[in-house]
Structure 1
Amino acid sequence: MTGTLVLAGTPIGDVADAPPRLAAELAAADVIAAEDTRRLRRLTQALDVTPAGRIVSYFEGNEAARTPELADALAGGARVLLVTDAGMPSVSDPGYRLVAAAVERDIKVTAVPGPSAVLTALAVSGLPVDRFCFEGFPPRKAGERRSRLREVADERRTLVYFEAPHRLDDTLAAMAEIFGAERRAAVCRELTKTYEEVKRGTLGELVPWAAEGVRGEITIVVEGAPESGPQELGAEELVRRVRIREEAGERRKEAIAAVAAEAGLPKREVFDAVVAAKNAGVGQGPESVGPAPDAVKTKR
Structure 2
Amino acid sequence: MDGPSPFPPAAPPPRPVSPGLYLVSTPIGNLRDITLRALDVLAAADLILAEDTRVTAKLLTAYGLKRPLRRADDHASEAVADEAVRRVGEGEVVALVSDAGTPLISDPGFVVARAMVEAGLPIHPIPGPSSLTAALAIAGLPADRVLFAGFLPPKSAARRTALETLKATRATLVLFESGPRLKDSLTDMAEVLGDRPAAVARELTKLHEECVRGTLPALAIDPRLDGPKGEIVVLIGPGEEVAASDDDVDMALTDALTRLSPGDAAREVAQALGLKRKAVYARALELQGR
TM-score when normalising by structure 2: 0.76
- The question of 1:101 aligning with 2:126 is answered no
Equivalents in 2 of 1:4, 1:38: separation in Å? 24
- The question of 1:62 aligning with 2:58 is answered no
Equivalents in 2 of 1:110, 1:179: separation in Å? 38
Match of 1:205 among 218, 238, 251: 218
Matches within 5 A, 1:226-265: 226-228=240-242
Q: Name the counterpart of 1:157.
A: 171
Shift of residue 246, structure 1, vs aligned partner: 12
Aligned partners of 1:58 and 1:94 also within 8 Å:
yes
Equivalents in 1 of 2:249, 2:90: separation in Å? 55
Equivalents in 2 of 1:8, 1:43: separation in Å? 12
Equivalents in 1 of 2:126, 2:193: separation in Å? 36
Equivalents in 2 of 1:77, 1:185: separation in Å? 48
- The question of 1:214 aligning with 2:228 is answered yes
Equivalents in 1 of 2:51, 2:95: separation in Å? 11
Gapped regions of structure 2 (runs ≥ 5): 1-17, 253-272, 274-290
Aligned partners of 2:28 and 2:131 also within 8 Å:
yes
- The question of 1:18 aligning with 2:34 is answered yes
Q: Name the counterpart of 1:185.
A: 198
Q: Name the counterpart of 1:126.
A: 140
Which residue type is aligned with residue 162 of structure 1? F
Shift of residue 176, structure 1, vs aligned partner: 0.5
Which residue type is aligned with residue 113 of structure 1? P
SS at match of 1:33: strand
Aligned-residue Cα RMSD (Å) equals 2.5
Q: Name the counterpart of 1:266.
A: none
- How many residue pairs were aligned? 236
Aligned partners of 1:3 and 1:107 also within 8 Å:
no
After superposition, give the CA deviation of every residue in 1:32-56 in whole Å (9 maximum; x if it has no partner): 10111111111012122233xx211
Which residue type is aligned with residue 218 of structure 2? E
Equivalents in 1 of 2:25, 2:102: separation in Å? 4
SS at match of 2:23: strand
Q: Name the counterpart of 1:33.
A: 49
SS at match of 1:169: helix
Gapped regions of structure 1 (runs ≥ 5): 230-240, 250-261, 263-300
Q: Name the counterpart of 2:105.
A: 91
Distance 1:245 1:27, change over 3 A: closer
Q: Name the counterpart of 1:42.
A: 58
Q: Highest Rg: 1 or 2?
A: 1
Q: Name the counterpart of 2:209.
A: 196
Shift of residue 171, structure 1, vs aligned partner: 0.8
Equivalents in 2 of 1:248, 1:177: separation in Å? 18
SS at match of 1:199: strand
